[in-house]
Structures are given as structure tokens and as C-alpha cells.
Amino acid sequence: MLIDPQLVQKAEGLIPELMTSPVEPKAVIEIAADENAFQGWRVDQAEEQNWKEKALGKGDSFVLDFEDHMVGYLSLVVKPVGSPPDAPLKLKLTFGEMPCEIAEPFESYQGWLSSSWLQEETIFVDVLPAELKLPRRYTFRFLKVEVLDTSVKYKVSFQDIACTTVTSGDVSKVKPLPSEVSEELALMDRIAIKTLRDCMQTVFEDGPKRDRRLWIGDLRLQAQANYLTFNNYDLVRRCLYLFAGMRLPDGAVGACVFEKPHAHVDDTRLYDYAIFFVSCLYDYYEASHDRDTLLELWPIAMQQIEIGVQRLNEQGIVADDETWWSFIDWHSDLNKQAPTQGVLIYCLRQGLELARVVGEAEQYIEGQIERTVNGAIEQLWDEQQGFFVSGSDKQISWASQVWMVLAGVLPAEQNAALLDRLFEAPPAIGMTTPYMYHHLIEALFSAGKQENAVEQMKAYWGEMIKDGADTFWELYNPEDKKLSPYGSNLINSYCHAWSCTPTYFIRKYLI
């Protein structure tokens, strides 16, 4: 890997102090199978609410509801009831962002991401009474406390159970919305901010349950939402320095980085994610006007442009010769060529703006824009069908149209007409993630289609709220509520960075 120790040191100098606050559970609940409820599980208040004084023996359990999304550290006080404890206490704790994680046994999990993400703990307590402080950070709303064994001579009862939440997002920095904003949008804004806040730790994490790391595609959207809410420039700078300071061997920015045991870049390479470094730097400079950081990181942004254009073929379009080379969306049938061409042009245009500020490489970037826009129109635009096509099968997808609109390949009027056509004759290859929906909505706003944009926000994030979201989710399909690219909805993240952007739309375009 290519390491620039100075940049990494700068990043490490910007590790924020986390704010903490203790939160107690609010209720005891029961989860019941109900095919009309979200993912088939309904949450009911339990008849017996007095969990503190209840004596529990082998096989007894209860489920606590914190009534909001938590990211933090759990502590419990447990005491023996009956004869002196003559055997250790064997305790199981299960944490769930959603009811499915409490109701469906983790042993049933068959997805392809590691089951180690599922949050559970079996603890042996030798000495009672005890105050337990769990060392791992958990992300949850529901907590199942299960006594696996005591002995025939004693039971236990729990006294204080609390979560010390952690975040680097300071809510006091977030301006209240003007009172004209509808209740529906104000609620969406609040949940989006909570989502962003719970992902704001010592980096902008993608999801505090999973993957708990910094991905640049997620960072880009988080940073945009952050500039209009928490306005924490230092956390963005830290993340930019991490990506800039640790790159893949040819200089490309890696798709994600880990912080521990020491900062290091992952070996995942994604074409769109690497070029988004330019976009992240552009947005950062736009928001902060921090010229020093721009000048320092500009050479790395420029390098991403140079690496990015190496993939262009003679016709000026990105080669599409592998399956997992660009991300765009979690959709197994999606051809990535045309949407990635859109991403490249979009980033080249932002790169050109930066080049003008820095006073370097303008002509070079202009030349690349001309080349890629011409390539897109000549090779990928199907005049007869009125859509951009992608790959050798000439696939028509939502993602291709959305990214080509954002890239401004067609003149404004044609862009608007293309977006209308998308809704009149929807392509079969749809969108899977809030990440891709974000880009559709951004395209609608950028083409002046505010009404439709708001309608889409309500139909998507609004539906998540109706389905019980405390924070916005990594994956959501109103038609298939158990959808997961990982083979099981248990492993989905239900507080996910790239889903936090309703607050950005509301604060940028609607107030």
C-alpha cells in the first residue's frame, strides 16, 4: 500500500472526543409473529413491566425496549435471589436494531456476510452480586436478557441496565427547521439527523452495527448532510486525510479504511468510490472554503482523475470487463458501465471547478470532459428509445439514466424529459438502496422537479417511517421488505450512513 505518514498523522490528530450520555430502557415488550407487521414481527407491550424485581431462573427471559436507536456500551447490575449462589450464572444477551434480530434465532442465519456481525453475548458470572460492563460497543433498540442457567438453589434479578451512548455529532449545532416545514418532513429530517448522528463516531461510519468502518461512498453523502446540520468540518477532514494518506499500490483511493489497531486501508478497489475522492474534496471546499486543505489534497484528487481516465477505451467510455469493479448500487443484474461513465463525468466536472481554484490542469480536465461526454452520447445514448444503454447487452436501468442526468450529459431540457420518461416507462432494472434513491432524488431536484422529488422522498423514506424506522436503513424496498443483498435481513444495517440524506434535501432545497 502507498502510505503518506504525514497525512495519516494529520488524520490521527483529528480524532474527536466522543460525547456520552446514559440511557435507560423504557419498557418490557413481547415480539409476536404477525404477517401484517414489518418483516412479519409485531412489538407488543408486555403485561408485566416490573423487570427490576423479577427473579429469573433457568430458561427465563425478558426483552427490553429502549424506544430509540442506541449506539453505545451496556452495563447491568445483577444480584442473586435465594440461597448463596453455588454455581456461576450463565447469561445470554441478544441485541437488535429491529424485532427480527430478537425473534429469529441467529443459528438460523444463512447469509454470506459473517454471522459474527449478529450481536449476542454469552457471559459467565462467577461472583454475585455483580456489576457488568460489556467491553464491546453495541447498536440496538431491543435487548433480550436470557438466563441460561443458575442452579436449583438460586435465581437472579436485574437492577440497573443502561446504555452509555457515544457519538461525535453535537446536536446543539443543528439549527431548528423553520415552522413552515410540514410535520411529515420535520419528522423525516429528525430521523435522518439521528441516523447521521449515530454513524458519527471517530470517523463517519457506514453503519454502527455493520460494517462499522469508513467507506468513501457513504462518506460523500454523510458529509453533504453534515454541512447542513452538525457542520463538523474536522471529522470530514480526518476522513479525507485517512483516504489520502493510505492508498492502493498504484495511488488509487481505497474503497474503505479501518481505524484499528492502527489506521489502514482495505484492499477493496471500486472505480466509482476512488473517483469520489474528487467529489468529497469539492463538497468540502464548497462548504468550508478551506483553501489550505484543498491545496494539500489536490494532487491526490488529480491522481484519481488520471487513474480514472486510464479505464477509458478508444471511444471515450469506461471499459466494462469485470463484474465487481464499480459499486453504483446493490443490484446483481445491474450493468455498471453507463452509470459509472456518469459518475466519472460528474467528478470530472467537479474536478474542473477545483482545478480553476487551484489554477492547474484546467485544459487537461476540459479535454477529458469533452472526450467522456462525446463517448457517452455516441456510444451509450439510444435516440430511438430515449434512454442511455449500458454494456454489451445494452441494458436500460434507472441507475444509468440517473447518473447521466447528474453528469449533465444532455442539455437541461432533455435531462428533464429523460427523467419524465423514467417514470412514464420505468426500466425493469430498478434501484435497491437508499444510496441509489438519493441520486434519483438529487437528479430530480437538480432538474427543477421539486414536486416529484418530494413525492419520491415520501414514498421511500416516508414508508420506512411508517414501517417503524427510528433511524434510516441500509436497504429498503417497499415491495419486498425482507430484501437483503447479503442473503438475510438479519444482517442488514438499520442505521446506515447513505440513508441519512433526507435532511440534506430538506435543508438544501426545501427551506
Pick the piece of the chain touching ligand RAM (CB under 6 A) from 211-219, 232-240, 347-355, 464-472: 211-219
Measured over the CA atoms of residue 96, residue 102, residue 103 and residue 104, the dihedral's sign is positive
- Residue 123: count of CB within 10 angstroms of its CB: 16
> Of the two residues 273 and 298, which places its CB atom closer to ligand RAM in the complex?
273
Question: Does the footprint of ligand RAM cover residue 205 (CB under 6 A)?
Answer: no
Binding track, positions 306-345, relative to ligand RAM; x by CB under 6 A: ---------------------x------------------
- Mask for 466-485, x = binds ligand RAM (CB under 6 A): --------x-----------
Q: Which stretch binds ligand RAM (CB under 6 A): 13-21, 54-62, 215-223, 407-415?
A: 215-223
Residue 328 CB, nearest approach to ligand RAM (Å): 10
CB of 343 to ligand RAM, least distance (A): 14
**Phi/psi of residue 155, each to 5°?**
-125, 180
Closest contact distance (angstroms) between CB of 9 and ligand RAM is 26
Question: Rounded to whole angstroms, how far apart are CA atoms 114 and 145?
Answer: 23
Q: Dmax over Cα atoms in the chain, in whole Å? A: 83
Q: Which of residues 388-447 bind ligand RAM (CB under 6 A)?
A: none
- The DSSP result for 31-73, as a single string, is EEE-TTSGGGEEEEE-S---TTT--B-TT-EEEEEEEEEEEEE
**Pick from 218, 272, 442, 470: which binds ligand RAM (CB under 6 A)?**
218
Smallest separation (angstroms) from ligand RAM to the CB of 176: 29
Residue 72 or 217: the one with the smaller Cβ distance to ligand RAM is 217
| Closest listed residue to residue 276, CA positions, set 358, 348, 355, 203 | 348
Q: Which of 97, 101, 198, 206 contacts ligand RAM by CB under 6 A? A: 206
Question: Strand 89-96 vs strand 120-125: parallel, antiparallel, or unpaired?
Answer: antiparallel
Considering the rule CB under 6 A, would residue 198 count as an interface residue with ligand RAM? no
Q: Which CB atom, from 222 or from 368, has the smaller least distance to ligand RAM? A: 222
Cβ nearer to ligand RAM, comparing 346 with 498: 498
Q: At what angle do helices 216-227 and 271-288 cross, to 10 degrees?
A: 20
Q: Candidates 160-168, 212-220, 333-341, 448-456: pick the segment binding ligand RAM (CB under 6 A).
A: 212-220
Shortest CB 269 distance to ligand RAM, Å? 12
Q: How many CA atoms lie within 13 A of 284 on its CB side?
A: 29
Q: What is the C-alpha separation between 470 and 488, in angstroms, rounded?
A: 20
Burial-class residue 382 by CB neighbours within 10 Å (0-12, 13-18, 19+). Answer: exposed
> Nearer to ligand RAM by C-beta: 255 or 406?
255
Residue 272 binds ligand RAM, judged by CB under 6 A = no
H/E element, 183: helix 183-199
Query: What grid cell was written down for 85?
Result: 449462589
Cβ closer to ligand RAM: 208 or 217? Answer: 217
**Is 259 a residue that touches ligand RAM (CB under 6 A)?**
no
Nearest to 495 by CA among 235, 165, 260, 33: 165
- Helix pair 291-309, 271-288: axis angle to 10 deg: 160
Residues that bind ligand RAM (CB under 6 A): 206, 211, 215, 217-218, 327, 474
